[in-house]
Amino acid sequence: MTATTSVSPESEATSTGLSSTSETPATGLATSEVKPVVLVDNLWVRYGKFQAVKGINIAIPAGEVYGFIGPNGAGKSSTIKVLATLLRGFQGQVEVCGIDVRRHPGRIREIIGYVPDFFGVYEDLTAREYLHFFAAAYRIPAAKRRDLVDSVLELTDLTHKIDFQVDSLSRGMKQRLSLARVLLHEPQLLLLDEPASGLDPRARIEFRELLKALKEMGKTILLSSHILHELAQLCTQIGIIEAGKIVAQGPLEAIYQQIGMMRLVHVQLANPNPAIAAAIRLLPTVQSVEELTDRLAIKLTGESFPLEDLHTALVQQGAKIKMFQAEVMDMETAFMKLTEGITA
Amino acid sequence: MSTATTKQSFGLPLLAKELTEQANRPRTYYVRMAYMVVLYGSFIWLYAGSVTAKRSVAEVLGSGALLFSPIMQIMTLAICLLVPIYTCGSITTEKDRNTLEPLLLTKLSPFEILLEKMLACLIPMTNYLLMAMPLLAVCYSLGGVEAEAIFTCVGYMLLLSIELAAWCLMWSTICRSTVVALIMAIVVKLFMLIALYLMFLQSLRISSGPFEQLFIFGLSVVGPVLLSVIWLSIGAYFLPRRSNVTGPGMLSLVFRWLDRFFHQVNDNPVTKGIILVKDSSKLPVDHPIAWRETVKKLWGSKTHLTRMVLLIETPIVFFFTMMFAANETATTARSLGTITGCVIWVLGAVLLLVQASGLISAERSQQTLDLLLVSPLSAKEILLQKMAGVWRLAAAMLIPFATIGIIQYSLGIEFYETLGRAVFFGCLTLVLLPFWVWFSVWIGLMTRNSLQAMLLVFGLLTVWQVGLGFVAQSLFPGASGLWGSSSVGNDSNIYWYSQSPLKFNDIGQWIRLLLLVASPLMIVWRSLTTLDANPYYCLTDSSWVMLLGVVPYLLLIPVLKRAALRRTAVVLGRLEDTEK
């Protein structure tokens, strides 16, 4: 688990008026090199007789984007709600920026931005009023609010909708407005619960780009989603949760490696020969070579061995290659392999 | 296979689903049990009072009539309460769950949908009627009631259930939320009945001729059925049109239409578009929730409240001016003032309690509660700011009372009496009402949705504020009926308490006193009726009884407020800083 060093692009930060996390510790809590922004240690959440979360551990360093994946009822939202100080009945240690969630929920609220899995509509407010409403709720000085609202609207590309009724906005716009809302008080941690759910492809792409911009600004983000390939593009770390337990977590590469997905190469030869397969098996990074009816399935162990070297080695053994295909990194396959379809 | 197909084609799928849901809901059995307890409990109580006290069998004969009438009243009351509760949510719930549109896509026509929904309400109501049959049989066996009367009354109740169910279903199709449907169904129905009574029924004299009797009977049977068909047809018309209602509510649309209308009227050479009351267009500064409640909400904004007050004030001023012109006496002005004041007070109280009980559940249903909870605002701040709109509405309510007082004074009612009335209504509005409001807030915090909160608030307040008075009255020796005599006589509670000093050794007297204090509406009613009978009464004899009734509530307000505020954090479920 390595902390990603992110440098906020000056242009973005300057143009929007928003500062990156590393530049402005909102509550005087500087991002620590040692302590992760999110620390969840042995978290248990229970609703009556139902145990929603069963002793999970998560550590998210500053600037990382952590993707939380799991089927419905797996415990994603419960974990996020604990971090958002919205759940009382939990066991375990939960800290955000080194602050204990249970002991200082008020301080936590000032450093987090929470977007729930639904969009709460105040149908009687315009986008401007909506943002000023929450700016006042977050006790942002009145003199700063106007510029701040303008800047978050610009970042989320909603400036032209500033005087539109919130209820009249499309779902994608509402979701961007939600993000604008949570950016008002410049939180260090963004908690996004299913932010892309129900969005059309264009809105989803726009939202993803927005998250990328925030990532580049150095925000630490924890987001849950069902849209797996999008998480793969955005997240630096993935946590797969099923029936309240984390089944795999870490950088995406590590997860792929863990289930042996990335290094599987399918080779189809015009001159299939057991000798070639035997020779390939002797290569130091090759874990196994499976001789299938129409192809060889070569599993590699090391990360450092480039695929082109394997190709060269095959040619050197006299192989006439008809097809050379590395198995595509696929979050969905990884998810299916790691989970067993257990639901609440 | 063919049997299954036949069953399917002639089946009532929606009714089957509704009945299955009802059967699976514990609430169905709780309500049934509560109804049973009230009905049978009342019967036993009445039986003990009227039949057991008789000395001989001959005296008992004919006493069935004494039991029959109150039982019928209880059943009618149950129908009037339960049918709207069952039906007003029938369609709005489907809208909430997003299941109405798929239902409309089936082969069921809108009328069939409504009909099946209505049957789903009528079956439990028939159940309630059947539950009373053993009691009616006892009444019959005691004598004094004819079998015809029993069957006619039960038949009318069934017709009442059908008509009321169709009426409520119609509002359920038109309105977006169950609470609005319930309020509209009850308020519009009441207005219709009052108008009908004033216009026709008051002057109607039923003659004893066979033809007239037949006509009345036919009208009373055909009328409800015909009305039911009309209500269902209107409902069927609106069902597909109001299946997916988004945007502003019906009341907001009415106010917007009024806005446009007034602007057009105002735009003339005389008034030149002058605006007397203008809502602040400023953005929130320090108290965002209070800002939204008092600037953006329908019942909190200055403009809308001014309109509402004007709407109430106009008829008051009109009627009193007419009285002034007709040289009416102070007695008429007094009576009219009391009635008008009571009606306004009750309507205002209902509106306030609905608002107060739905404060938090409205945020829940809008899915905005979590957004507020993750802000640095404390739970206490959230609740106190939410109350800003409620208090503004309560303040607006005081204006019509002031108008009534001023007009009554100008019509010749003496200053001290006017002052007495002002103190009286002031006590009610400034003490009793805030207590009820905090009580409603407290209940609203405990419940999941606005409807549940509203029903609980009105149910509990009725039992507490009226029910206990009922018991106190019944315990009082010589009381005549529920409210007793309106004159200041020896059978009056107030007279009794004010004239005879409290005997500390009489436990029964203490119990009665406690029950009366716990049921201030009883004191209110008695005071009002005695006020009309004796103008100086409120300032002399009964004043300490009034205070006795109000002071405990004044003392309880901060206690209840504190309990509600402390409860908020716990009920809302979020972590608070004080916790370890």
One DSSP character per residue, B363-379 reads HHHTT-HHHHHTSS--H
Report the gap between the CA of A250 and the closest CA in chain B (Å).
Answer: 28
Q: How far apart are the C-alpha atoms of A214 and A192, rounded to whole Å?
A: 12
- Helix, strand, or coil here: A66? strand
The encoded tokens of residue A269 equal 């030869």
Say if residue B122 is in the same domain as residue B231: yes
- Give the end of a domain, one of B214, B241, B268: B241
Check whether residue B215 and residue B357 sit in a common domain. Answer: no
CB contact under 8 A, B296 and A109: no
Q: What is the pLDDT of residue B9?
A: 54
Alpha-carbon separation of residue B528 from A4, A147, B447, B491 (angstroms): 76, 59, 35, 16
Return the ∠ at Cα B188 (arms to B187 and B189), rounded to 5°: 90
What SS3 class is residue A23? coil
Looking at the partner chain, which of B297, B367, B575 has a beta carbon nearest the beta carbon of A88?
A: B575
Instruction: For residues B60 and B208, state if they share a domain.
Output: yes
Residue B56 makes CB contacts below 8 A (sequence gap 6+) with: none
Comparing CB atoms, the residue among B248, B285, B297 nearest residue A136 is B285
Q: Which residue of B has its CA nearest to A115?
A: B371
Instruction: Note whether B441 and B383 are within 8 A (CB).
Output: yes
Q: Tell me if B169 is assigned to some domain.
A: yes
Residue A61 is encoded by which pair of tokens?
Answer: 């360093």
Q: Chain A interface, mutation test: which of B283, B285, B297, B385, most A Cβ atoms within 10 Å?
A: B283
Contact B283 A84 (CB under 8 A): no
Chain B residues in contact with A148 by the CB 8 A cut-off are none
Q: Phi first, then psi: give them for residue A238, nearest 5 degrees.
A: -130, 140
| CB-based contact B297 A85, cutoff 8 Å | no
Q: Which residue of A has its CA nearest to B379?
A: A106
B230 and B304 assigned to the same domain:
no
Give residue-wise pLDDT tens across range A137-195: 999 998 899 999 999 999 888 999 998 988 888 888 888 899 899 999 999 999 999 88
Minimum CA–CA partner of B382 in chain A? A137
B287:A129 CB<8 A: no
Burial of B24 (0-12, 13-18, 19+ CB in 10 A): exposed
Enumerate the residues of chain B whose CB falls inside 8 A of the CB of residue A149: none
Sheet holding A90-96, edge to edge: A50-60, A38-47, A90-96, A99-100
Q: Which residues of B touch A101 (CB under 8 A)?
A: 575
pLDDT the model gives residue B470: 65
CB pairs under 8 A between A and B: 105
* Cβ–Cβ below 8 Å for A125 and B292: yes
For A74-96, what is the mean pLDDT?
91
Say yes or no: B194 and B342 in one domain: no
Please tell me which residue of chain A has the smallest CA distance to B284: A133
CA distance B234 to B228: 10
> Which residue from B minimizes the CA distance to A103?
B580
Which of A123, A166, A191, A193 is most worth mutating to test chain B (most B CB atoms within 10 A of its CB)?
A123
Position A34 confidence tier, pLDDT thresholds 50, 70, 90: low
**Contact B375/A102, CB-based, under 8 Å?**
no
State which residues of chain B have pLDDT below 50.
1-2, 477-502, 533, 535-542, 579-580
**Band of the pLDDT at A220, cuts 50, 70, 90?**
very high
Inspect the interface and report whether the beta carbons of B375 and A109 lie closer than 8 Å: yes
* Terminal C-alpha separation, chain B: 65
Q: Which fold has domain A263-326?
A: Alpha-Beta Plaits (3.30.70)
Decide which of B186, B219, B241 is a domain's last residue: B241
Q: Looking at the complex, report in whole angstroms how far the Cα of residue B238 sits from the nearest Cα belonging to chain A.
A: 23
pLDDT tens figures, A230-242: 777 788 888 988 8
Select the residue from B373, B375, B382 to test the A interface by mutation, using most A Cβ atoms within 10 A.
B375
Tally the C-alpha atoms within 13 A of residue A4's C-alpha that lie toward its C-beta: 21
Q: What integer pLDDT is reported at residue B535 of this predicted model?
A: 45
- Our CA-based measurement puts residue B427 at a distance from the nearest CA of chain A, in whole angstroms, of 35
| Chain position carrying tokens 């489907």 | B94
In B, which residues are within 8 Å of A125 by CB distance?
Answer: 292, 296
Look up the domain containing B206 and give its range: 12-241
Give dist(CA A18, CA A280) in Å, integer: 54
B383 with B320, same domain: the answer is: yes
Which among A86, A104, A133 is the nearest to B284, CB-wise? A133
- The reply to whether residue B575 touches residue A138, judged by beta carbons under 8 angstroms, is no
B377 contact residues in A (CB cutoff 8 A): 137
| Contact yes or no for A256/A117 (Cβ under 8 A) | no
Query: Do the Cβ atoms of B484 and B491 come closer than 8 Å?
Result: yes
Tell me the domain boundaries of chain A.
10-256, 263-326
Tokens (6 digits) for A200: 């059309």
Do residue B215 and residue B330 come from a single domain? no
Residues contacting A342, CB < 8 A, separation 6+: A71, A242, A243
CA atoms in the 13 A half-sphere facing the CB of B441: 28
Is there a contact between B533 and B548 (Cβ–Cβ < 8 Å)?
A: no
pLDDT at A128: 92
Residue A29 confidence (pLDDT) above 50: no
| Percent of all residues in chain A with a pLDDT value above 70, rounded to a whole number | 84
* Partner-chain residue, chosen from A87, A88, A121, that has the shortest CB–CB distance to B366: A121
Nearest Cβ partner for B283 among A86, A102, A129: A129
Report the distance separating Cα B522 and Cα B370, nearest Å: 42
The ipTM, to two decimals, is 0.75
Q: Considering the domain A10-256, what is its CATH architecture?
A: 3-Layer(aba) Sandwich (3.40)
Structural tokens at position B281: 């267009």
pTM of the model: 0.74
Q: Does residue B276 fall inside a structural domain?
A: no
Those residues whose C-beta lies under 8 Å from the C-beta of residue B155, and which sit 6 or more positions away, are B221
Residues of A with CB under 8 A from a CB of B: 84-88, 101-106, 109-110, 112, 114, 116, 118-125, 128-129, 132-134, 136-139, 142, 145, 167, 181
pLDDT of residue A43: 94
User: A324 has which bridge partners?
Assistant: A267
> Is residue B87 domain-shared with residue B158, that is, in the same domain?
yes
**Which residue is associated with the tokens 């609905």?**
B354
Residue A113 has what pLDDT?
Answer: 93
Residues of chain B in Cβ contact (below 8 Å) with chain A: 246-248, 283-289, 291-292, 296-297, 366-378, 573-577, 579-580
Cβ separation B376–A106 shorter than 8 A: yes
CA-based angle A160:A166:A167, to the nearest 5? 130
Judged by CB atoms closer than 8 Å, whether chains meet at A120 and B369 is answered as yes
Pull the structure tokens for residue B260.
């446009």
The set of residues, in sequence order, having a beta carbon less than 8 Å from that of A264 and lying 6+ positions away, is A297, A298, A299, A300, A326, A327
Please report whether residue B259 resides in a domain. no
Rounded to the nearest angstrom, the minimum Cα separation between A46 and chain B is 14
Give yes or no for a contact between A68 and A222, defined as CB atoms under 8 angstroms apart. Answer: yes
Collapsing DSSP to helix, strand or coil, B323 comes out as helix
Q: How many structural domains does chain B have?
A: 2
Q: Report the distance separating Cα A156 and Cα B482, nearest Å.
A: 66
Q: Can you tell me which residue has the tokens 């639904």?
A: A118
Position B493 scores a pLDDT of: 44
8 A C-beta contact, residue B341 and residue B320 = no
Cβ separation A136–B246 shorter than 8 A? no
Nearest CA distance, B43 vs chain A (angstrom)? 42
Longest dimension (CA), chain B: 85
Cβ separation B292–A123 shorter than 8 A: no
**Residue that is written with structure tokens 């500062």 in the block:** A19
Nearest CB among B286, B377, B577 relative to A105 is that of: B577
Element (H, E) at B562: helix B543-572
Tokens (6 digits) for B75 = 């059943």
Summarize pLDDT for B162-189 with one digit per residue, the tens: 999 999 999 999 988 887 888 888 888 8
Q: B283–A132: do the CB atoms touch at under 8 Å?
A: yes
Q: How far is A213 from chain B (nearest CA, A)?
A: 23
